Structure 1
Amino acid sequence: MESVKTIESIKRNIENHIGEKVTLKANGGRKKILINNGVIESAHPSIFVVRLDNDIPRKVTYSYSDVLTKTVQLYFAL
């Protein structure tokens, strides 16, 4: 994801990619990095929802501030 400066620009960027595939790289704590593939399902005023493509289908939510602080990094499919 390109470097964005504000939560509003992060939110707009994620809203523009709803329904698209994304690779999600999240800090799991204790030096653990979680990497998953999924689809951005929806965007709400303070969070966004990603449906993961795993053996067991599940959804995860993150806040836009997680992207701003780089706790979560999104890489959109080309």
Structure 2
Amino acid sequence: MATVQTLDKIRKSLEKHLGKKILLKANKGRKQIITKEGILEKVYPSVFVIKLDDETNGYSRVSYSYSDLLTDNVKLQVFKNQDKLKIS
């Protein structure tokens, strides 16, 4: 089981990338994976919020918990200039 310190480390690593463009890959179940680009907008004690570039799907923001990153249900890549850097 994930400890509070592990989730806190994930949160602190995300705080360093606030406002940066990221690539989001999320597992929605039943082999459905969405891939979207957005900006890491907010980091809260239990969740983080991503503002999506593509608003055609009816929502402009999504939020996930840090345990989603820990269990690989969500993967993030931070864009640095033209390159992508994987953070989890």
TM-score, L = length of structure 1: 0.89
Greater length-normalized contact order (CA 8 Å, ≥ 6 residues apart): 1
Identical-residue share of aligned pairs (%): 43
Structure 2 equivalent of residue 17 of structure 1 = 17
Structure 1 equivalent of residue 86 of structure 2 = none
Which of 67, 70, 78 pairs up with 2:69? 67
When the two structures are aligned, how many residues end up with a matched partner?
Answer: 74
Whole-Å separation in 2 of the counterparts to 1:69 and 1:77: 22
Answer with 55-64 or 45-54: which moved more.
55-64
**Residue type of the alignment partner of 1:61:** S
Structure 1 equivalent of residue 51 of structure 2 = 51
Find the structure with the greater CA-based Rg: 2
Any gaps of 5 or more consecutive residues in structure 2? 81-88
**Aligned structure 1 segments of 4 or more residues deviating by more than 6 angstroms:** none
Structure 2 equivalent of residue 8 of structure 1 = 8
Q: CA deviation at 1:41?
A: 0.3
Any gaps of 5 or more consecutive residues in structure 1? none
Across the aligned residues of Structure 1 and Structure 2, the Cα RMSD in angstroms comes to 1.5
Structure 2 equivalent of residue 37 of structure 1 = 37
Q: CA deviation at 1:74?
A: 0.4
TM-score, L = length of structure 2: 0.79
